[in-house]
Chains A and B, each alone.
Chain A
Amino acid sequence: MRQRLRVFIIYFKLLLPYWDKSLLSLVCVGLVVLFSLATPLITKVLIDYVYPARDLPLLSFLVLFSLLIFIFNVLFSDISSYLDTFIHQTLSIDLRKKFFTHLLRLPLGFHYEKQVGDLLVRVTNDIDVIVDTVAEALPVIIKTIMQLAALLAICLMIDVNLTLLAFVGIPVYFIQTKFFASRFEEIQDRTQRSESAVYTFYQEKMSHVKTIKSFNQEIYETDRLIDKLKNLFKLARENLFMSLFNSFFDASLITVWTAFLTWYGGYRVITGHISIGEVMAILMYLGQIHQPFMDFGTVYKSVVKSFVSINRLEEIMQAEPEAYQDTKTYLLFDIDGEIIFDRISFRYPDSDEYILKDVSFVAPPGEVTAICGASGAGKSTIIDLILRFIDASEGTIFIDNYGIKQVSLMTLRANISIVSQDVIIFSGTIRENLQYGCKVVDKDKMVGATKAAEIHDFILQLPKGYDTQIGEGGLALSGGQRQRLSIARALYRDVKILVLDEATSALDSITEAKIFDNIKDRLKQKTVLMITHRPSSLKNANKIYVISDNKLTESGSFDDLISQQGEFYKFYQAQLQESDEQMAEKVELLRLKKKIAESEKNKPSLPIKLSNLEKQVLHLYYEDKKTYAKIGQEVGLEAYEVARVRKSAWEKLEQLKELEIS
């Protein structure tokens, strides 16, 4: 009970900003209730006086009076509907805004744990249910109470006996409504869970269409979806059956009760206690009671359903957001951009294994500091720590001598630009994507940034130039174009700290060199932290830190590290070899592809065929130049499995070549 009272208090708080419109809507509803009382009373006067007395002027007057009431009734009813709709829409926008802002401010850890589909259901369905309840159900409940009170009062005035008997039925009606409502609540809870599962399924599968296709799992996934939908439809049927039972009980109760009252009303007329007009008026009022009762039953069920939704929303709203605007923190403005990692260790709270252990380094302003190391060494964790997506378990990170935990999160992130390997392009124009996160628009600066990132000429070739739509439903950009756009976006943002996380992985060495040449002057005014394993990129760094086994093992300039012939030297040699091998393989692959295309023309049924997965892996490896780990993420395999697929594909190509030669 206390829980429900708390929910109602929440609902009234939600309505509070619209108190003026709610009040006006209630006044309108009150008037509509009063107007609806008039018609049975007019009927009573017509039957009991006007017709027997043959009073034509009064008949005309009462008809005109009815018309006037009808007009007012319609006007006030429409105004009330308009105001309720206004509240509904505005509240819907407000709630969504509040929820979405809160979601975006929750730490990354929260988003990793939650399924996107589940959040989608909460942001759409659950908010809809709550808004429907607050903006529609609550006014209906108040209207129903007003209507029942008015009907009771007027019926009591006409005939106490008949009225008391008529209203005895109300508790019976409430008992059965409550009985069904508890069942509806339980079905609703299961339905919401099932809907979340379906949304999550859709979201997951639509984001990994490539993997599903490459494994030929289209039918399997469709069957899985059907199973989930069947479960959802089963719940919908359960809901329908329950509604049918409920309607049947509602209708039966009301019909039996009305029949009994008609008999008793007739009895009262025959025995001379009331007039025919009076019994007609009471029966008409009882007819009017039917609708509020039905409405009340419906909204009661809707309110009960909303208890489930409000709990689901509260679960998210109570999650602690990141401290964006903590007034006790320092604001980072006009910084030099020096980054200091002071004995930083990091491990996830529920794990004993350290991702980073006792890492210390300095990234001075005006220099390019590179971090390199094998996959899984903890390089990306460094970026997450600087941006405070996660907090260090031990040690402190300083920016310009301010510990970043004491710095306002908003100003911290406002000073850092990141270009990552996974470039995210939002739906919109190229210009909008470049301006993302910038309040001031400077066209010259934008062109300067795109020229430096070697993408300006490409943009100009497009029919709409900077206004070309990209992202979903727009122009599809290649991996390299996306990465160059992302570099331009970071340069345009022009902040002191630039983080390059494998930022040139999709670019060829020549374009990469050109870009570094273009931006070398700009980089002198920034602190650049570069995370890479590309030999060509590492040469651009002033100082390199090598991470191995989650610790910093070596540091120094490129030449120093090479001359030391330590960890970095081995790493560099391996990368160089891989790079040379890749180049040689690419040349060979292009040659082979050409040959095979020719032979497929002449011999359509070749004995050896490459599977879709093999073709995809080959493409990602040679054309998009992605690492095994990255390809693995895309196609849903472990890195070693990707290596195996690539090897088998390559062997098939060799066999095809031999066949062709023979």
Chain B
Amino acid sequence: MKQARAPKASLFKSLLDQEMGTQAKQVELITLLLLVVVILVVLWLWQWRLELHADTGIIHLNVFELLLNKN
């Protein structure tokens, strides 16, 4: 015999049921964490030297220097 499936708590519904002020606070917290992650990623990328073969020889640049390089 087929058993009735228990209602599943949907993520969407639980997000909607949450009090908006509390939710906004949580979003603020997540945003701050994400900002920290972005800063860490930027610092890591800053350290990472890419090797480029130019006419004058091999040069080492990080990705930001590469993107903003005029030549």
Contacts and interface: CB of A to CB of B under 8 A. Distances in A.
B15 to A, nearest CB: 11
B41 interface: yes
A86 B45 CA distance: 34
Contact of A65 (B20, B38, B63, B70): B63
A55 interface: yes
B36 interface: no
Interface string B17-28: 000100010011
Nearest to A76: B34
Contacts of B53: 53, 55
Interface in A274-323: none
Contact of B34 (A44, A53, A79): A79
B64 to A, nearest CB: 9
A75 B34 contact: yes
Given A24-B28, A55-B53, A82-B27, A42 B20 contact: no
A148 interface: no
B52 A49 contact: yes
Contacts of B52: 49, 53, 55, 58
Interface in A146-161: 157-158
B30 A79 contact: yes
A20 B25 CA distance: 10
B35 interface: yes
- Name the residue among A31, A45, A158 with the largest chain B CB count within 10 angstroms: A45
Given A72-B38, A89-B20, A41 B31 contact: no
> Per DSSP, are chain A's interface residues mostly helix, strand or loop, or mixed?
helix
Contacts of B28: 20-21, 24, 83
B50 A42 contact: no
A76 B24 CA distance: 14
Contact of A28 (B31, B50, B67, B69): B31
A460 interface: no
B60 to A, nearest CB: 12
A86 B24 contact: yes
A90 B24 CA distance: 11
Interface string B45-71: 100001011000000000100111110
Contacts of A28: 31
Contacts of A31: 38
A51 to B, nearest CB: 14
A28 B35 CA distance: 9
Interface in A557-577: none
Interface residues of B, number: 21
B31 A42 contact: no
Given A53-B53, A61-B50, A86-B24, A45 B31 contact: no
Interface in A32-84: 38, 41-42, 44-45, 49, 53, 55, 58, 61-62, 65, 68, 72, 75-76, 79, 82-83
A476 interface: no
Contact of A79 (B31, B67, B69): B31
B31 A86 contact: no
Contact of A38 (B34, B41, B67): B67
A68 B63 CA distance: 13
B43 to A, nearest CB: 14
Given A20-B28, A42-B67, A83-B24, A68 B41 contact: yes
A157 B68 contact: yes
A438 interface: no
A155 to B, nearest CB: 13
Nearest to B37: A72
Contact of A45 (B24, B45, B66): B66
Nearest to B66: A45
B11 to A, nearest CB: 15
Nearest to A82: B27
A75 B31 CA distance: 9
A61 B30 CA distance: 28
A637 to B, nearest CB: 52
A41 B68 contact: yes
A31 B31 CA distance: 12
Contacts of A61: 50, 63
Interface string A73-107: 00110010011001001100000000000000000
A9 interface: no
Contacts of A16: none
Given A24-B31, A38-B67, A53-B53, A86 B38 contact: no
A65 B28 CA distance: 26
Interface of A: 20-21, 24, 27-28, 31, 38, 41-42, 44-45, 49, 53, 55, 58, 61-62, 65, 68, 72, 75-76, 79, 82-83, 86, 89-90, 157-158
Interface of B: 20, 24, 27-28, 30-32, 34-35, 38, 41, 45, 50, 52-53, 63, 66-70
6 contacts: A28-B31, A45-B67, A58-B50, A61-B50, A65-B45, A65-B63
Given A21-B24, A82-B27, 18 more contacts: A24-B32, A28-B31, A31-B38, A41-B67, A41-B68, A44-B67, A49-B52, A58-B52, A61-B63, A76-B34, A79-B30, A79-B34, A83-B28, A83-B31, A86-B24, A90-B20, A157-B68, A157-B70
